[in-house]
Structure 1
């Protein structure tokens, strides 16, 4: 058996995975192909801005055949200091106490790491020719590295823009127009996603179920219970998360679980702590509140009437302000609203992504 096809009992892949990218996954796949058992050790420093738990979860999702473990390593990074090496090895051995037969690596420190584990060193694409990407490159320019990122990382980095407002104020029109606008930019932007309002689908189903019993029933006869709103909120979040995993660096949502908190007030007369807890789990980066002024009310059979729109607009605005969410009130014609919204989204994207620097490395 040649050195290039030798199999090992227990292999190790070690890295920061800050964040994981296609090169990391290629390394792990290469190791899995040559090991009976593979451990992936994710090491994070406290100064870094992506939680260790997230990185471990992303690697486990991508490589269910491997054993993925995590460790916090706040020791200085000095490849020339034996004492520092020993401090790091203490962290590594605590996380991976079993004997290691091979260390798979694309890094220059792989030789010394393998020696200290008493294992063979197996280099995998050290020149990064298969996947020309690095963690440093991703942190510097996530958009430019987008095609190298897996679904979990994409979902975490996607800028989420929510369009919300009272009934018949153009939320669907604007959110769909925004998604279409960014798709025309081509490249990775052609995958820009749009998330429809699940609450509307749910309402249609409730009305259809009522009409199955009473064909003459209309929207005024549909009654909601408080227990239904968390269901709607969780489904809205799930649809959003699914779209964020597969799309471009920006995602447009026709409402979200935060908006569901206001709809609960509208129908039940009071807030729902359970819905509020659902809404708090996901961060959105920009809200666009559609004004009711100047927008004709259209009754599509699932709406209550124009008299409620000023109250709804006011409640959305008050809660956006109270909770400190970033938002913009959009007014005017559909064309004016789209121009205003695009400028706001472009501004959001121009701010970029900010990652804390890893610990400085001395070689």
Structure 2
């Protein structure tokens, strides 16, 4: 049967495969579908972000995602409270009408929740239950909020990117950061299951520097040019940070609940500081807009210096490592320093990462209890 206007209501805190199945079912059955994202102001995932996630997952032209703030109290036995929730939903529909969008009356409400039938009654619409026992997609928002890693398979790529814990391995040049980052990712990949998809993001600055040197040698017809002969501009460091973060985000969308990053925007800002003797406000802005959760700082002590013309000289490695650690401390960012042989460094990095992964998931409790 085809309905003229189907309605889907949810918190989508966060969206998951069951929600997508619900919306897709409505989309196949209706000329037009309105998906109302009803979020309370106390919830931790921003309403705008949830709306953006759903719009990415459901780009069908006849499906519209409408954000609504719903701070009505929770009382399933109160008719007044139910009416307050419905009033918020209607306000979302009315807003579209006020913007000049023709909104036909809702004639079907699609839901997997017990309140679906009552909601449909209040809209004078048919109720279309969609897998109420959740046999096809055994997942709920509550389950994900309690244990994101345990329900990772049901999350869309942008939700994974938001929830993945990002661990940065950083340090002075030639202090074993790349070796440790690779090994840390390989350790979690070896755990299997959801962790098998753990990604390692290489340092984009290395790639950029290699390409810059190759271009300089070609342009000067001088294969003897070295990294020390290159001239750097501030905008290049910003570009490096932007591209590194883009690679990070792409890896987080397809990886496990853990992402291992070989350096980050903060390290790029300090690199800018050392090379140009100037602050890097644009890179600072990039750093502040990106969520990293733990920094593992590699001590240069005991790591033989391998000169390549790109890294800090051997006498400067300790100063660079101290500068990074001091900046992390000044900003109050969680970090550990690892030292000693590689096996000890890896063991310390794994212990710190395990402690991070054991922390409570980053969700504030919603106003409405139960599956959302």
Q: TM-score, normalised by structure 1?
A: 0.96
1:250 matches 2:244: no
Distance, in Å, in 2 between the alignment partners of 1:187 and 1:25 is: 24
Q: Could you tell me how far apart the structure 2 residues matched to 1:292 and 1:361 are?
A: 50
**Contact 1:78-1:361 at 8 Å conserved across structures:** no
How far residue 300 of structure 1 moved from its aligned partner, in angstroms, is: 3.5
Matched position secondary structure for 1:96? helix
Q: 1:111 to 1:193 in 2, by over 3 A?
A: same
Query: Which residue, out of 48, 72, 78, partners 1:53?
Result: 48
Aligned mates of 1:102, 1:257 — CA distance in 2 = 48
Task: Return the match for 2:131 from 119, 125, 131.
Answer: 125
Q: Does 1:285 align with 2:273?
A: no
Cα distance change, pair 354–274 in 1 and its aligned pair in 2 (3 A): closer
* Pairing partner for 2:71 from 65, 71, 74: 74
Superposed displacement of residue 96, structure 1: 1.3
Deviations 1:131-153 (A, max 9, x none): 00111111111111111111111
Aligned residue for 1:78, secondary structure, equals: coil
- Say yes or no: does 1:351 pair with 2:348: no
Q: Write the deviation string for residues 254-279 of structure 1: whole angstroms up to 9, x where unpaired.
A: 00111111000011001111111111
Could you tell me which of 140, 146, 165 is aligned with 2:146?
A: 140
Structure 1, gaps ≥5 residues long? 1-5
Give runs of aligned pairs for residues 184-203 of structure 1, distance below 5 A: 184-203=190-209
Distance 1:243 1:87 in 2: 42
Q: Which of 225, 228, 232 is the equivalent residue of 1:220? A: 228
Residue by residue over 1:317-338, the C-alpha shift from the partner in whole angstroms, topping out at 9 and shown as x without a partner, is 1111111111101100111100
Deviation at 1:84, TM superposition (A): 1.5
> Offset of 1:358 from its aligned partner?
1.7
Q: Structure 1 CA distance, aligned partners of 2:215 and 2:25?
A: 53
TM-score normalised by structure 2 residue count: 0.93
Q: Which residue of 1 aligns with 2:275?
A: 267
Deviating above 3 A after TM superposition, structure 1's stretches of 4 or more consecutive aligned residues are: 300-304
Aligned partner of 1:204 among 201, 210, 215: 210
Residue equivalent to 2:185: 179
The alpha-carbon deviation at position 39 of structure 1 amounts to 0.9
Contact kept? 2:266, 2:284, Cα under 8 Å:
yes
Residue number in structure 2 paired with 1:87: 84
Q: Cα distance, 1:304 vs. partner? A: 4.6
1:302 Cα deviation (Å)? Answer: 3.2
1:179-198 CA distance string (max 9 Å, x none): 00000100110000100000
C-alpha displacement at 1:361, in angstroms? 5.2
Question: Do the aligned partners of 1:76 and 1:361 also contact (CA within 8 Å) in 2?
Answer: no
Contact 2:227 2:308 in 1 (8 A): no
Displacement of 1:22: 0.8
CA RMSD between the two structures = 1.3
Select 1:342's aligned residue among 326, 332, 350: 350
The residue aligned with 1:156 is: 162
Is 2:237 the counterpart of 1:229? yes
1:105 to 87, 101, 111: 111
Partner of 1:325: 333
- Post-superposition offset of 1:227: 1.2
Residues paired across the two proteins, number: 357
Instruction: Quote how far apart the aligned CAs of 1:77 are.
Output: 2.4
The 2-side partners of 1:124 and 1:280 are apart by 41
Q: Deviations over 1:66-89 (max 9, x none)?
A: 210111111112232222122112
**CA–CA distance in 2 between the matches of 1:360 and 1:103?**
19
Residue 96 of structure 1: aligned partner: 93
Q: 1:19 aligns with which of 3, 14, 27?
A: 14
CA distance in 2, matches of 1:360, 1:91: 14
Q: Describe the superposition over 1:51-106 as per-residue Cα deviations: whole angstroms up to 9, x where unpaired.
A: 11111111111001121011111111223222212211211111013311211101
Aligned mates of 1:166, 1:80 — CA distance in 2? 61
